Amino acid sequence: MNLTLKIWRQKDAQSSGAMQSYAVEGISEDMSFLEMLDTLNEQLNERGEEPVAFDHDCREGICGSCDLMINGQAHGPEVTTTCQLHMRSFSDGQTITIEPWRAGAFPVVKDLIVDRSAFDRIIQSGGYVSVNTGSAPEANSVPAPRDKAMRAFNVATCIGCGACVAACPNGSASLFLGAKITHLGELPQGQPERMSRVAGMVAQHDAEGFGGCTNIGECASACPKEIPLDVISQLNKDLRDALRAGY
Amino acid sequence: MASTADVSGLTELNGPPEQRSDDAHGYYTPAPEKLVDAKAPTGLIKDRWTTRKMENRLVNPANRRKLDVIIVGTGLAGGSAAATLGEAGYNVKSFCYQDSPRRAHSIAAQGGINAAKNYKEDGDSTYRLFYDTVKGGDYRSRESNVYRLAEVSANIIDQCVAQGVPFARDYAGLLDNRSFGGVQVSRTFYARGQTGQQLLIGAYQAMERQVAAGTVTQYTRHEMLEVIVVDGKARGIIARDLVTGEIETHLADVVVLASGGYGNVFYLSTNAMGSNVTASWRAHRKGAYMANPCYTQIHPTCIPVSGDHQSKLTLMSESLRNDGRIWVPKNKEDCTKDPRDIPEEDRDYYLERIYPSFGNLVPRDIASRQAKNMCDEGRGVGPMVGDFRRGVYLDFADAIARLGEDAVREKYDNLFDMYERITGENPYQVPMRIYPAVHYVMGGLWVDYDLQSNIPGLFVTGEANFSDHGANRLGASALMQGLADGYFVLPNTIRDYLADGPFEQIDESHPAVVEARTSVEERIDKFLSIGGSRSADSFHKELGNIMWEYCGMERSEDGLRKAIDMIRELKAEFWTNLKVLGTADSLNQSLEKAGRVIDFIELGELMCIDALNRRESCGGHFRAESQTEDGEALRHDEEFAYVAAWEFGGEGGLPVLHKEDLIYTAIEMKQRSYK
Ligand SMILES: Cc1cc2nc3c(=O)[nH]c(=O)nc-3n(C[C@H](O)[C@H](O)[C@H](O)COP(=O)(O)OP(=O)(O)OC[C@H]3O[C@@H](n4cnc5c(N)ncnc54)[C@H](O)[C@@H]3O)c2cc1C
Ligand code: SF4
Ligand code: FES
């Protein structure tokens, strides 16, 4: 396949950026989207132009590093991560627009790379169970009902990629937050800190400049791990309970 | 179980090995003295760890705040260590090259983690886990270390469950297990096909809690490029801030490397793209020994290569071998047919045929080599790559008929999806195709029983060290080692070292610091100024081809000699023909890559020398010159039951080979048989 790529180039956080057009040739359908970008970068390097910077690592859809807006959609046209998107989803001669995540709380670092450290700070504000090493009880001494454990698992699959934020017109991280609240909230181990956790995480979320949730639902449709929208209801419920309890 | 009645650990069951062959003559300098890991306590094997914990000195809580610990790496090994040492009150600085600690390569592990809990009452015990692990490693691991690993394994599960790790559970709400290659009990705990992710998130959350508490400071998008050694002790690191390009000096009382494995030396592997050897290699060049570098694990169940563009290979969890049956057509003519049209009697379930007692669950090295044999015989399936079809079937038709599609879906759902996404084929309908790929390295920096390298104050944990897996690694044992090291072992051993602290103050003007920093700056300038015509990536691909061809699943004396020459040429070309655009004072991914690739090139050469020296087949390492009559791997314990620990011989000099004898007291060495 031959393609035209329109890519956001930005030297660093301080500079302003612009879209640039590149032609790439000889792309195979079996390539992943990132292998297609590797091909472009080899060609740019040969021509003496600086390659396009983008984030990636596992290339297996699990680390959450890769993060591209492709034709206006987070991770592109399929429900998956960018690294698992294959070129068979595109057609010969197509023009593809590639931009970094769009959200005030995710400032651009360079080209297609953004700073997602706000997510780490949200976890720091309560997204854990406080158990010191060595003080854990025997694992089977606290059974967890299977349906609850299953739900916990289903939402614990969040990879922290930030597609939900990038897709949301408000730049809200409610899906990411809801996933963690629900994961720990469904398990017996998560109960003692349930209220302080939600209060702390929501406060940090707001402080980071993420927007509020207005139930648009773009987040859940962009999420590569199919985190369901109802985690946001869970988040809101837990937050109400926490506020009532004076947290 | 075999005759392992002597569990006392009081008598030596084998004598010191005596190497007769010397294939690597001229490529190395032998060290005059044997290396001894004097730190392992003697006495009953089951008491050794308890003894060590008691012997090790304590550090008063008030003094811990004054002690600075640097940890490079935030995977299972580094993340769990940072959390635990932070909780204990030390002042921890944690480094990773990704944008968040949660993205470390450990996140990709699929299958599960072993622990001797015996929840199934199927006869598991600490001793049996220990025995299986030593045997699986083809008797090339240290028995004291492995026993300790088995001993703390049960605590790991308790710890992770308490953190909220959502392991699979049965209907009573209790933890579920499955079994993995090479063992006959169900001792593997799992979270669907995402065990690594769930364990890592647990460790990451525990570490972030310490960041909030102020005991851990995290430096993300930072790459460690040099160790600082002052008066023979590790005292800090030089790191590059990958965003601003700034070269930073970080000083500490002790340095821990938890920087993962170097399988990417093969270019195509199941590792994350950023996995590299730089941290370990820079330490090696500073004097730390690199042990058994040629021990590479080839994983039998990966999605086969489809073409040149490929940047990595994807693993399909080994747990699939619990239910999937592996076969190839009996007749070459059938290889291009739709597998569903090949009748039962024309299929060769070769693992079940050759190894009736383990069948599809034979250890990885055996499953890998037999797959290669089938393809070499011309009975491989899938597209032609080079002259061969490189694939065998992994078939779920029986499992689906027996358990129902829903049950299979629940167990392996995301793996099946991933397969379909990559290959465009539906594995519920057509058998999967798999082929071996480079997956894990058992070699790494040499450490003693306390996980300390031969440089005092430099500790090494997780995949970056060499000690626990021998020549081969059983499934679900790397996650176990990473967390055992980080949560339970290192915190207990590093204490003893730190009890001598705080150490003498040094500052950035110290000559050793200046030297380390200058060398980093000079290398970076060099990369940018060569101005040749080839990208770092193209060198990496070429190195990978050499390594796979000559130092991969099968190795021979001639091949290895040839590989060493080729790598030396490649290295010379790298320094004259590399092209890196952009600047040093900004985010520059080509520059990062260049630094990693040259370290891989140097490592590759050492791996080939190590492989050349070891004229025996063991674990994933098959030497053509050493096989039984029926083509199975043949070890030579009386010559090679030792750890090969290589010392850097200086620029252009020969590496120095130190040998540490492997003496067993609780397990008798046996030829492995899975028949
Ligand atoms: C696809 C896959 C599946 C697997 N499945 C299983 C399984 O089911 N069971 C099992 O037991 N094992 C499995 N393994 C093996 C296991 O995942 C790894 O061996 C283990 O996770 C390694 O952990 P680690 O903490 O040592 O290193 P890693 O998780 O690799 O972490 C390395 C860390 O070091 C940092 N780092 C590296 N170099 C530098 C540097 N120079 N400067 C700064 N930071 C640096 C990285 O940023 C990262 O944080 C699997 C491996 C793969 C690839
Ligand atoms: S909720 Fe989904 S989209 Fe949002 S960070 Fe998690 S995985 Fe990504
Ligand atoms: S690179 Fe890891 S999820 Fe895409």
CATH topology of domain A116-130+143-245: Fumarate Reductase Iron-sulfur Protein; Chain B, domain 2 (1.10.1060)
- Residues 6 or more apart in contact with residue B449 via CB below 8 angstroms: B37, B39, B40, B41, B52, B142, B144, B145, B493
Distance CA B188, CA A174 (A): 34
Does residue A61 line the site of ligand 2, with CB under 6 A? Answer: no
Question: Alpha carbon B422 to chain centroid distance?
Answer: 25
Q: Counting beta carbons within 10 angstroms of the beta carbon of residue B49, is it exposed (0 to 12), middle (13 to 18) or buried (19 or more)?
A: buried
A139, B117: Cβ pair inside 8 Å? yes
Asked if the structure places residue B474 within a domain, the reply is no
Do residues B315 and B288 share a domain?
A: no
**Spacing, Cα A37 to ligand 2 middle (Å):** 23
Distances in Å between the alpha carbon of B426 and those of B210, B217, B336, B371, B415? 44, 46, 18, 22, 11
pLDDT (tens digit, 9 = 90+) per residue, A206-239?
A: 999 999 999 999 999 999 999 999 999 999 999 9
pLDDT interval class at A117 (50, 70, 90): very high
Q: Which of A176, A182, A229 to mutate to test the pocket of ligand 2 (most atoms within 8 A of CB)?
A: A176
Concerning whether B221 is annotated as a catalytic residue, the answer is no
Does A120 contact B119 at a Cβ distance shorter than 8 Å?
A: no
Interhelix angle B589-613/B511-529, rounded to 10 degrees, is 100
At B512, list the tokens.
């050793």
Q: Over the stretch A44-91, which tens digit does the pLDDT of each residue have?
A: 999 999 999 999 999 999 999 999 999 999 999 999 999 999 999 999
Kindly report the number of other CB atoms within 10 A of residue A69's CB atom: 22
- CB proximity B267 to A under 8 Å: no
Is residue B202 in a domain?
yes
Domain that holds residue B323: 299-438
pLDDT at B153 over 90: yes
Domain boundary among B416, B438, B460: B438
- A133-180 pLDDT per residue, tens: 999 999 999 999 999 999 999 999 999 999 999 999 999 999 999 999
Q: What is the DSSP string of B441-456?
A: E--EE---TTSB-SST
Q: What is the rounded distance in angstroms from the CA atom of residue B457 to the CA atom of residue B552?
A: 34
Shared-domain flag, residues B79 and B225? yes
**Residue where the block lists tokens 């070292």:** B497
> Which CATH number is associated with domain A3-99?
3.10.20.30
Set B364, B389, B555, B614: catalytic member? B364
Q: How far is CA B483 from the centre of its chain?
A: 13
Q: How many domains does chain B have?
A: 2
CA distances from B594 to A193, A226, B268, B534, B650 (A): 46, 37, 17, 11, 21
- A30: DSSP letter: T
Average pLDDT over residues B666-672: 87
B405 and B458 part of one domain: no
Write the pLDDT tens digit of every residue in B632-646: 889 999 999 999 999
Interval B347-375 mean pLDDT = 91
ipTM of the complex: 0.98
Q: Is residue B511 part of a domain?
A: yes
- Give the nearest ligand 1 atom to B98 CA: 47
In this predicted structure, what is the pLDDT of residue B2? 41
Q: Which ligand is nearest to the CA of B222?
A: 1
Helices (H), B530-643: 536-551, 557-577, 589-613, 637-640
State pLDDT tens for residues B291-326. Answer: 999 999 999 999 998 777 889 999 887 778 889 999
* HSE value, Cβ hemisphere, 13 Å, CA-based, for B167: 29
Q: Which residues 564-583 of B have a C-beta within 8 angstroms of A? A: 579, 581-582
Q: What pLDDT sits at residue B182?
A: 61
Give domain limits for chain A.
3-99, 116-130+143-245
User: Is residue B583 a contact partner of residue B525, using CB atoms and an 8 Å limit?
Assistant: no
B644 domain-assigned: yes
Average pLDDT over residues B41-54: 93
- Pick the residue whose CA is nearest to atom 4 on ligand 2: A164
Which residues, 6 or more positions from B181, have their beta carbon under 8 angstroms from its beta carbon?
Answer: B318, B321, B361, B362, B363, B364, B367, B474, B475
Query: Residue A7 forms beta bridges with which residues?
Result: A20, A98
How far does the CA of residue B572 sit from the closest CA of chain A (Å)?
20
Residue B3: pLDDT over 50: no
**pLDDT band at residue B95, thresholds of 50, 70 and 90?**
very high
* Residue that the structure tokens 């790459």 belong to: B223
Is any Cβ of chain A less than 8 angstroms from the Cβ of B62?
A: no
The verdict on B434 and B447 lying in the same domain is no
pTM above 0.90, yes or no: yes
For residue B147, being part of any structural domain is answered with no
Residues of chain B with Cβ-Cβ distance to A31 below 8 Å are 309
In a shared domain, residues B208 and B286: yes
Look at residue B308 in the predicted model and tell me its pLDDT: 79
Task: Check which CATH number belongs to the domain holding B403 and give it.
Answer: 3.90.700.10
* Number of C-beta neighbours around residue B32 at 10 A: 7
DSSP characters for B346-405? GEE-HHHHH-TTTGGGS-HHHHHHHHHHHHHTT---SSEETTEE--EEEE-HHHHHHH-H
Clarify whether residues B290 and B314 are in a common domain.
no
Q: Rounded to 10 degrees, what is the CA torsion of B299, B304, B305, B311?
A: -60
* CATH at B584: 3.50.50.60
